[in-house]
Chain A
Amino acid sequence: MHLENQVLLEMKQISKTFPGVKALKNVHFKVHKGEVMAFMGENGAGKSTLIKIITGYYRRDPGEGQFLFDGKEVNPRNTDEAQKLGISTIFQELNLSPYLSVAENIYIGNTPKKKGMIDWDTMNQNAKKALLDLGVDIDVTAQLSLQSTAIQQMVSIARALARNTKLLIMDEATSSLDTGEVKVLFDVVRALKSRGIATIFVTHKMDEIYQVCDSATIFKDGEYVDCLPLDQLPKLKLISLMIGRDASELVNKRKIYDPEKVKGEVICRVEGVQKANHRLNGINLEIHKGEVLGLSGLLGSGRTETAKVIFGDDVHYDGEVYMGQTAIRFKCPADAMKKGLAFCSEDRKAEGIFPYMSVQDNLTMTILSKISRFGILNKREQQKRTLEYIQKIAIKTPGPSTKIKDLSGGNQQKVILSRWLATHPDLIILDEPTRGIDVGAKGEIEDLIKQISDSGISVLYISSELDELVRECDRIVILHNGKNVGELLNEEISSDAIMDVIAHGRIDT
């Protein structure tokens, strides 16, 4: 099935040790020319570490291992050396330079020269052409930071292609692209394949793998598990290999509805909320006590914006938000918290964790005044509360004083959830709570959400993953262009039904 059965990259017995952790243990794998391979594994399986070794960002442990690229043993000492060998990477977090022009971002480190000087005209022309090939027509002399995320992602792809790339690595490169853009990207990958360029593809989105990859290499806990062609690897088996247990239970789990939940007392009501910039054009919501209300819709449909209005993070809106029976206008999130609201942001890194602070400090951030006496923090109480949640929610951490940045994404998310649960909220808003989290932890977080709702706390659940909404929600409201266009109740909920509403923009209720 490979165009040429020549091995492009082979790694043997690769290990990597960080202080206190062995991130990779004697990993080995092969990539052939023109092969599109998926790297699969939960967070912490070692995929990222391995990729960083391939790209020269990290250096592997010295020892018996071997790193063969294009028939030669290599040891790139930095990203520049790896790029010169023909290894290019597109990362999840865009690694481009914000204030340089689009063209420069494509060519920096590899700029066309005339008499030793950067040849700006040639560079701009080449850049224009390279982007047109990807279906992007923009002013390449404009500053990069002024472009949208999707365009920036395309720029980083153009950058990788502008070099003599033999191996392209995509680390969650599709996470900020919409369906159309993903399609363009996959077309590019297929075109590269026909030119004999190999691609390593890392993603959490299973469907994408089956669309574009030939084979999958699976890692678990820093070890190599298996490498199989995808036509011999059904989804369930893949998941089982990744999490090391039978996954059918997780995937086929079906929610048991409690019809009483969606009829409970209305604790929060949003009426005709709109914004001057037309991101929201009349949102109406009722959130009942103890239900899980899903907010679905495409990117830009106003899901997060609605949540931020409710939580008082966005105060510039028209319309009304009621808590119970009284109309209320929060001035800031702290106001909303006092009224029993909690909000778990979609952007864990920027709006969730304090990376260099401990689990304990992160977890108790919202209840500092409750565990202080006369303004002095009671450290023992803080630790007690933290241990309580570590145990209750099964947060995997060496201890309460570990820095949160050293935890896996799933465990970080559990800490953030605990932080909000500790405030004993009436309504908790979860914006993409499973983003960037591996399958195993996803399941645990979904279980946790069920527990939360059973204990009488209402959940407003925002997610792009339809499967998740279907598994979790008692009721789903679908938004489109800042308006609600439909609602699905209990048994009506299914992926197809949601997509149908999104596609038609309305539903007859």
Chain B
Amino acid sequence: MSRERGITGKSVGQRINEHSSVIAVLLLLALGTAAYGMTFLNYKKNLINVLHTASMMGIMGLGVNLCFLIGARDLSVGALAALVSMVTAWLAPRGYLPAILGGLAVGALFGACNGVIVGMFKVQPFIATLGTQLAARGFALLINKELSISLGSSAPQLKYIGNGNLFGLIPIPAFIFITLIILLSWILKYRDFGRGVYAVGGDENSAEMMGIHVVRTKIIVFTISGLMAAASGIVLCGRLSAGQPTACEGWEMTIMAAVVLGGTSVRGGIGRIHGIFLGCLFVTFITNLINLNGHISAYWKDIITGIVLLIAVLAQVYGDRQKEKIKHG
């Protein structure tokens, strides 16, 4: 806990950087309320949907966030989620448990592949995961000849995972998302593996010299990322009541934006896992506000996200520079 001490002496840039997503989300909430009043604030009719979508994106984003922390990228998550949604739907007639386990297994397998290619064969993560992205999307389309697979009446539990609410209040995906955030935050803070993630992201060679198993850390991180994408895919399958081979196209990019908005450094080694929560909320709120309006083109979503992302990254760079000044000052 004591690491959080010493707030004094931080520059404006650093503070903006650290809390960029909170500021952004609050601004959007204010904007939404001002523009649409109760239509926007109605929890059951509107906000719950935002939470729902943000969670699906966020579960995937957890893995991507971990990859960012070790200074890597994972471009395969969107395609992998689509593939897992297909596998899950395909296995659903055998019961929900085989479907979920099968889905997770596929995710872990692809993730581990990424990890081995990046860790052991030292391929640039960007390229390696681009390869698995294409492969995963290909498999997803291959399974049912480019068509989706409907769940029909099999495995109703899956539909509950996708659409159900705890106490009629918290969407199950949001529950899963928050549980995973807590779990991963705990691992990052209190387990050697977690600290190793930061060390690898900070400086790989140093980490190696300090006795941290860099390759192993990378493989585990990518496997977790695969598992998270798979969890997302399973939720997606339940939500749509079908496996959808073309789902989540382009999500990896939006998610990367959400990760950076959440305060994770683009260079690795800095950031906290819960940032992704606000990052995803932000991205989803923008879509939500535009949908509520009905007149503004949906493309504004990307434009606004892009501009805010650039501001966040600039704040990061500015923050770094301030730190340098403190160091040499």
Contact = CB atoms under 8 A, between A and B. Distances in A.
Contact of A141 (B6, B206, B207): B6
B195 interface: yes
Interface string B196-220: 1011011101111111110000000
Contacts of A100: 195, 198-199, 202
A95 B195 contact: no
A91 B205 CA distance: 12
B326 interface: yes
Contacts of A83: 211
Interface of B is mostly: helix
A457 B190 CA distance: 61
Interface residues on A, range: 35 or more
B210 A109 contact: yes
**Most interface-central of B1, B3, B212, B213 (chain A CB within 10 A):** B3
A98 B210 contact: no
Given A83-B211, A98-B206, A142-B6, 15 more contacts: A78-B208, A89-B209, A95-B205, A96-B206, A99-B198, A99-B201, A99-B202, A100-B199, A104-B195, A109-B196, A109-B211, A120-B3, A124-B2, A139-B6, A146-B326
A74 interface: no
A258 B206 CA distance: 49
Contacts of A108: 192, 195-196, 199, 210, 212
A118 B211 contact: no
A94 interface: yes
B207 A97 contact: yes
Interface in A81-135: 82-83, 89, 91, 94-101, 104-105, 108-109, 111, 117-118, 120-121, 124
A145 B195 contact: no
A155 B196 CA distance: 18
A98 B202 contact: yes
24 contacts: A57-B208, A78-B211, A78-B213, A79-B209, A80-B212, A91-B209, A94-B206, A95-B206, A96-B210, A97-B206, A98-B202, A98-B269, A99-B269, A100-B198, A108-B195, A108-B196, A108-B199, A111-B192, A117-B190, A141-B3, A142-B6, A146-B326, A148-B327, A159-B210
Nearest to A114: B190
A141 B211 contact: no
Interface residues of B, number: 30
Contacts of B212: 80, 108-109
A118 B1 contact: no
B189 interface: yes
B5 interface: yes
A369 to B, nearest CB: 33
Contacts of A159: 210
B94 interface: no
Interface string B45-87: 0000000000000000000000000000000000000000000
Interface of B: 1-3, 5-6, 189-192, 195-196, 198-199, 201-203, 205-213, 269-270, 323, 326-327
Contacts of A148: 327
A101 B189 CA distance: 12
A119 B280 CA distance: 32
A105 B3 CA distance: 13
Interface of A is mostly: loop
A96 B199 CA distance: 8
B329 to A, nearest CB: 8
Contacts of B269: 97-99
B206 A79 contact: no
Given A100-B198, A124-B2, A141-B6, A118 B209 contact: no
A21 to B, nearest CB: 21
Contacts of B2: 120-121, 124, 141
B262 to A, nearest CB: 16
Interface in A15-60: 55, 57
B195 A111 contact: yes
Contacts of B206: 94-98
Contact of A109 (B190, B192, B205): B192
A71 to B, nearest CB: 23
A147 B326 CA distance: 10
Contacts of B6: 139, 141-142
- Ordered nearest first, which 8 A-B pairs have the shortest CB separation? A80-B211, A95-B209, A117-B190, A97-B199, A99-B269, A95-B206, A97-B202, A99-B202
**Most interface-central of A57, A99, A145 (chain B CB within 10 A):** A99
Nearest to B326: A146
Contacts of A78: 208, 211, 213
B327 A146 contact: yes
Contacts of A95: 203, 205-206, 209-210
Nearest to B204: A97
**Most interface-central of B5, B205, B210 (chain A CB within 10 A):** B210
Contact of B198 (A94, A97, A111, A117): A97
Contacts of A139: 6
Nearest to B267: A99
